[in-house]
Amino acid sequence: MGNNFHEEYRGSMDEGSFYLPFGVQASTTNPSTPNQLNELGMRLNEGVKNVEVGALSEDVFESIPSEHFREMGRLAKLTDTKVSMHAPMVDLAGFSKEGKWSEENREDTERYMKSVVDRVHKIDPKGNVLLNMHSTGGVPGFSWKKGVPNEKEMVVAVEKESGNLVPLRYEKLQYIEGEKTFTPEARLDVLNESKWQEEKLKLMSYEKSKDEINMMKLNIEANSDYQRVLYLKRNNLPVPEQDIEQFNYMHERVITHESHMGEYDNHIMLGLQNLNHLYNTYYDPKTKSEKRVAKKNKRMLDNLGDKYRVQLDIEKRGRERINKAIGNASPDDYDKIVKIHNEGYRQIDKELQDKVGQKIDSGYLMKHISSLPAPKLYDTAENFAKEKTTETLSNLAMHSYGKYGHNSPIIAVENWVPESVLSRADSMKELIKDSRSEFSSKLIKEKGMSSSEADKVAEKLIGATWDVGHIFQLRKSGYTEKDVIKETEKIAPYVKHVHLTDNFGYTDSHLAPGMGEVPIKEMIKKLQKEDIDRVYVNESGGFINNFNQNPVPHTLESLNSPLYSMNNGPSWAQSRDFYSSYTLGYQDLLTGQKYSGGFSGLPLELGADRKEGE
């Protein structure tokens, strides 16, 4: 049955031929059980030389006894096997399962992953166990226009202060002057600017409303009937019955206005503090001139807040003096009451002029804060996740190196489905570079390393896991096979670990290599151009569950692995062409099985029967 499945193999001595030795391939354990020690034993019994153990669920991982990690290491040493670990799938940036970010979530995740690092180290205390972890817990990054590669239909943004996700869609709107197109990137700029303007307008509207309420309060206080009854009450004199109801109504309004003014004072003060916080936290000047202006604006905002606190104190003490003076005046002397008001507020203005300068009102606020440039209150989920994940990864690496030195576990970050954040080659590459750089800086600062030594340690302990099945799902967005291979070429220098799984570009079906359309051979060739010692993990759990077969023989056939240690010998891809009974199924080896394919010689997956032997 020549050329029945894998037709490309010509022979290991032929130029351009492809094969992947069995010694660099790995099998996975069942991630749904905490009995990973037993799972490891079963894989070792199959004769594999590399095994990836672990669990995707935190609950399952937390049920693995501590001693099992040490025992895994003993088994690996006894069988000369290399063991890697797949960590539970958590979001390293700090997003919750509901898609909301908070610094508390990120810190909780970091603490948890430090405990995972500590347990994984037990597998090989004198080596570097590779710890694989997903780049994201599934946070969406964007979606493409149907069938149009590189054109985004929607980009997910994050409001940094609240941690909420905001979808920004591509739209065409009909304006009076004609049609206008808004890309997701343009919407992000508009969103940042409008949010910033909204924060500034809040302050000015508060001050304006406070001034209006103050005028209403002054008008009531200047009313002669109000002042006459107030005088009688203060001096314990009888108040005419007909005046009590009107006085009570006016007095309640005065108290309400004073309460409202106090609330607006608090809002304005908090607004100034918030404006200062948002600007200084999220404005990111790039050029030297922008940095100079940013420092100037920071001083202005700090000064504005200090002056407003002084102004509130002066106004409060001034109103107390005015009320006391009015209380000592005759309620029938309307002209005197008006004079007390006027002189009292002139004194307040004079004290403000001496201690504050110009009074801070809505016009003053407009003059000083209207020109403040908009900080980046919103950012794409991609950029935001990269910043926060970089912080987590560098802290994890620093924790690990601080405890275990050169025997620290290797952190390998795996790409998830392409629509999620940090799952394309460019973003993965930037994440690894930034994480290494931040880790290196910490080593220099905290460990006194030279820059070159720190960079070497960071490069050794932080890298990428490249899942060829995940990235192939670009196909459903209109990308070609060449585009997918190009992604692998971009990330290749940073890849320390590889996950092999096949699919048709639409779901993560986890077929065995060769059973879908993923260009696995071409992608491996790109990876092999980099002289990096990698393990290629066969993640074919979907195939195992659906067909109840071991995927290893299929993988060996698909990857043209040599039958023997000599690469110029026959390969598993050629085993189907043998006339002996050494074909698929191992009839001679597995004597408890009976196979019948009639005269056709069909393999199992094409219809041959397999019956249990007696």
pLDDT on residue 5: 43
Stronger pLDDT, 459 or 580, i.e. the higher one: 459
Residue 263: band (very low, low, confident or very high) from pLDDT cuts 50, 70, 90: confident
- Rounded Cα gap, residues 171 and 185, in angstroms: 11
Residue range 92-100: average pLDDT? 94
pLDDT on residue 521: 93
Phi-psi region of 310 (alpha: psi -120 to 50; beta: other; left: phi over 0): alpha
Say which range, 66-70, 121-125, 201-205, 398-402, has the weakest mean pLDDT.
Answer: 201-205
pLDDT for 17 beyond 70: no
> Angle between the 362-369 and 184-221 helix axes, to the nearest 10 degrees?
160
Both tokens assigned to 319: 């109103």
Beta-strand relationship, 164-169 and 593-596: unpaired
- Rounded Cα gap, residues 129 and 110, in angstroms: 19
Percent of the chain with pLDDT over 70: 88
| Angle of CA points 339, 206, 317, to nearest 5° | 40
Q: Which residues, other chains included, contact 35 with Cβ-Cβ below 8 Å and sequence gap of 6+?
A: none
Q: Where are the domains of the chain?
A: 22-142+381-559, 186-376, 578-614
Q: Which residues, other chains included, contact 304 with Cβ-Cβ below 8 Å and sequence gap of 6+?
A: 272, 360, 368, 369
Asked if 51 and 38 count as a contact pair (C-beta separation under 8 A), the reply is no
Residue 426: burial class (beta carbons within 10 Å; 0-12, 13-18, 19+)? exposed
Write down the pTM of the prediction.
0.82
Residue range 111-131: average pLDDT? 97
- Rounded Cα gap, residues 199 and 270, in angstroms: 11
Residue 312: band (very low, low, confident or very high) from pLDDT cuts 50, 70, 90: confident
97-135 b/e with 16+ CB inside 10 Å = b? eebebeeebbeebbebbbebbbbbbbbbeebbbbbbbbb
Task: Report the range out of 233-242, 453-462, 555-564 with the highest average pLDDT.
Answer: 453-462
* Beta bridge pairs of residue 536: 25, 498
Stronger pLDDT, 174 or 59, i.e. the higher one: 59
CB atoms within 10 A of CB 14: 9
Both tokens assigned to 284: 């990111």
Residue 566: band (very low, low, confident or very high) from pLDDT cuts 50, 70, 90: low
pLDDT for 31 beyond 80: yes
- Rounded Cα gap, residues 49 and 27, in angstroms: 9
Q: Which of 463, 458, 457 lies closest to 414 in space, CA to CA? A: 463
Say which range, 288-292, 331-335, 494-498, has the weakest mean pLDDT.
Answer: 331-335
- Rounded Cα gap, residues 34 and 37, in angstroms: 8
Q: Where in 313-405 does DSSP place strands (E)? A: 378-380
Residue range 377-403: average pLDDT? 97
pLDDT on residue 461: 98
Residue range 5-34: average pLDDT? 71
Stronger pLDDT, 248 or 318, i.e. the higher one: 318
pLDDT for 597 beyond 70: no
How many CA within 13 A on the CB side of residue 14?
11
DSSP of 323-343, one letter per residue? HHHHHTS-TT-HHHHHHHHHH
Residue 491: band (very low, low, confident or very high) from pLDDT cuts 50, 70, 90: very high
Helix (H, G, I), strand (E, B) or coil at 133: strand
Asked if 370 and 88 count as a contact pair (C-beta separation under 8 A), the reply is no
Q: Which residues, other chains included, contact 340 with Cβ-Cβ below 8 Å and sequence gap of 6+?
A: 322, 325, 326, 329
Q: How far is CA 343 from the centre of its chain?
A: 60
The total number of residues shown for the chain amounts to 614
- Rounded Cα gap, residues 559 and 583, in angstroms: 17
22-142+381-559 belongs to which homologous superfamily? Divalent-metal-dependent TIM barrel enzymes (3.20.20.150)
Mean pLDDT over each residue of the chain, to the nearest integer: 86
- Rounded Cα gap, residues 342 and 311, in angstroms: 18
pLDDT on residue 165: 96
Q: Which of 262, 335, 336, 271 lies closest to 304 in space, CA to CA? A: 271
pLDDT for 316 beyond 80: yes
- Rounded Cα gap, residues 512 and 540, in angstroms: 5
* DSSP type of residue 373: P
